[in-house]
Amino acid sequence: MAEAGFRLAAQERRPLQDALSHAAQVTEARVGFALSTAEGSVPEAMLYAVGGGKALRAFLALESARLHTISPVKAAGAAAAIECIHAYSLVHDDLPCMDDDAMRRGQPSVHAKWDEATAVLAGDGLQALAFELLVQAECSPRARMNLVVSLAHAAGVRGMVGGQAADIAAETAGTPLDLEQITTLQAAKTGALISWSALVGPRMAEAEREPLANYGEALGQAFQIADDILDETGDAKQVGKAVGKDRVAGKATFVSLLGLDGAKRRAGQLVDDACDALSPYGEDAETLKEAARFVIARTH
């Protein structure tokens, strides 16, 4: 039973894998429809870049909306928007001027399948499309404005772009970061989009944000530690991209700083923190708790 002050979700809760597939379908349908009147290799590459992922961020958006009795139809624009921003970041991150990865999600990355110019433009197009889709979120004008400004903030120089820039600067300088620095960097680079996704529901409903803000923050950090563990121990075929690059580059990661066991312990503690943060929502938040456990158990 949820605590007083937290509204029970109206739609039935789906198990995690079902909810993730639903989030992927919602995203691909919205993006596909938006691109249906565009022609050429750039929209084709945009659609390709959005497909084939876990749709974790879209899932978080739809699930946090569900906890605030907001239907998937009303939240679909926000769910598709965050996947577009995420896809753009991966397309650009894979470019030769950044991480130079020829594989993504087990398939050729966009610049490898088309060319660099198409990949740059597909990323740019996805970023613009994200905001076109986001304004389709069905909520009050004030809540919609809050979604737009907060997404621009999370994706920009005080969020993902800032984190990526700090990461590149540290690598160029050749001075490995300490634990506090890497935590701050990753909170911006990957945590900001994950936190934003978890806050779609309270933002659309103009409700209390603290529980889902705490959940998103802990989940984002657990996600990054799990990513570092996968990079260290995962199999390239299963992960769907090259692994072990951070170690070869001598980059500081949660694994290099905490050790493999220490990183696993820290990730487990963060998952517990993420689940505890959801207690005001009671059993209704069980799928979000499943997602937190999945994030550190995943193999890709």
Residue 130 and residue 107: Cα distance in Å, rounded? 23
Ramachandran assignment for 244, one of left (phi > 0), alpha (psi -120 to 50 degrees), beta (any other): left
The residue from 89, 127, 197, 256 that contacts ligand GRG (CB under 6 A) is: 89
- For position 105 contacting ligand GRG by CB under 6 A, the verdict is yes
Q: How far is the CB of 270 from ligand GRG (least distance, A)?
A: 15
- For position 120 contacting ligand GRG by CB under 6 A, the verdict is no
The residue from 93, 129, 195, 201 that contacts ligand GRG (CB under 6 A) is: 93
Q: How many residues comprise the chain?
A: 300
The residue from 27, 109, 190, 221 that contacts ligand GRG (CB under 6 A) is: 190
Stretch that binds ligand GRG, among 12-20, 31-39, 90-98, 196-204 (CB under 6 A): 90-98
The answer to whether the beta carbons of residues 292 and 222 sit under 8 Å apart is yes
Cβ burial of 174 (10 Å; 0-12, 13-18, 19+) is exposed
- For position 195 contacting ligand GRG by CB under 6 A, the verdict is no
Q: Which of 219, 221, 229, 233 is nearest to 179 (CA)?
A: 221
- For position 68 contacting ligand GRG by CB under 6 A, the verdict is no
Q: Which of 198, 231, 179 is nearest to 57 (CA)?
A: 198
The answer to whether the beta carbons of residues 132 and 35 sit under 8 Å apart is no
Residue numbers 38-57 binding ligand GRG by CB under 6 A: 53-54, 56
Q: How far is the CB of 92 from ligand GRG (least distance, A)?
A: 4
- For position 79 contacting ligand GRG by CB under 6 A, the verdict is no
Footprint of ligand GRG on this chain (CB under 6 A)? 53-54, 56, 86, 89-90, 92-93, 98, 105, 160-161, 164, 189-190, 227
